[in-house]
A and B are shown apart, each in its own frame.
Chain A
Amino acid sequence: MSGEEEENAAELKIGDEFLKAKCLMNCEVALILDRKYEQLQQMSEDPTNQVSQVFEKSLQYVKRFSRYKNPDAVRQVREYPSSLKQLVSIDNNLIMMILCVLGNLCPETVEEAIAMVPSIRSKGRAHDDEAIEKMLNDLAMIKKFE
């Protein structure tokens, strides 16, 4: 694939199929996998035999690195882009991708956020420091009140 060489998450350049897909925050993955694990548990006595190593490792990882524990808080973050749309002129999926990175890493300052997602204020996207700061504050608020 020629596109393989081009990909760069920092500029949000990823494959077409992933642009169409929905990206998930660690905490969302934790909710999904936890649910699935419970289902497996009900079906058989020993679910550890049933799940793959990939599943197990992913579950451990997302549990360790989930910033939002409460499903309501997760939903709030997920719905947040609707209020963000006036600020950025990119499509919803890319906003969600930025938000997922921010939701996973929870940067505290504007500089940190820009280092994490450089494309947050690349040209053409009217994203000034104030807007970014507001976004970080809003996300911090959701976390605080979960």
Chain B
Amino acid sequence: MFFHIVLERNMQLHPRHFGPHLRDKLVAKLMRDVEGTCSGRHGFVVAITGVEDIGKGLIREGTGFVTFPVKYQCVVFRPFKGEILEAVVTMVNKMGFFAEAGPVQIFVSNHLIPDDMEFQSGDMPNYTTSDGSVKIQRDSEVRLKIIGTRVDATEIFCIGTIKDDFLGVINDPGAAA
């Protein structure tokens, strides 16, 4: 889910930036440093929407760099276990399929795809029900539930399922064409 959250960060600024535009320099650096990063705790930082407060700078001994505590508001995307969301299928293989919900990758193993769906290989690999009415292939939109997350320092990876009530394909690009 997306959140609007206030985060804090200690920013180090080189003395050459000191002057009337110190604040602008600090904010520009904050955006460069933070936007697009991912932490296990807060998820993906999508965009900074505002700076709430810049605290008093502290000169670091020996280097001349100054550390400013900066409080900023940002939009983050953080997937949670148990969350249900919609995603776009990016790759299908016999192990299962990968889907993307914004910045996060979600893998759905074939054990977590309903049993009546069979893998069909070919140039457009897909999972299809025996009567052919439902098909999961690249670019399909699916609704899935996140059942596990693996978090490391710079990435979040999710395991999902579509083997539950009200989950599965919501839009099949093949059917529309």
Contact = CB atoms under 8 A, between A and B. Distances in A.
Contacts, number: 120
B80 A7 contact: yes
B164 interface: yes
Interface string A31-49: 0110010000000000000
Nearest to B167: A115
Contacts of A74: none
Interface residues of A, number: 43
Contacts of B100: 57, 61
A9 B166 contact: no
B165 interface: yes
Contacts of B166: 107, 111-112, 115-116
Interface residues of B, number: 39
A36 B2 contact: no
A17 B5 contact: yes
A53 B103 contact: yes
Interface in B76-95: 77-78, 80-86, 88
B88 A18 contact: no
B55 interface: no
A101 B26 CA distance: 36
B3 A23 contact: yes
Q: Is the interface of B mostly helix, strand, loop or mixed?
A: strand
Contacts of B41: 1, 15, 17
Interface string B1-38: 11111100000000000000000000000000001111
Contact of A55 (B6, B35, B49): B35
Interface of A: 1, 4, 7-11, 14-15, 17-18, 21-26, 28-29, 32-33, 36, 51-55, 57-58, 61-62, 64-65, 97, 100-101, 104-105, 107, 111-112, 115-116
Interface of B: 1-6, 35-38, 41-42, 44-47, 49, 75, 77-78, 80-86, 88, 100-103, 141, 143, 146, 151, 164-166
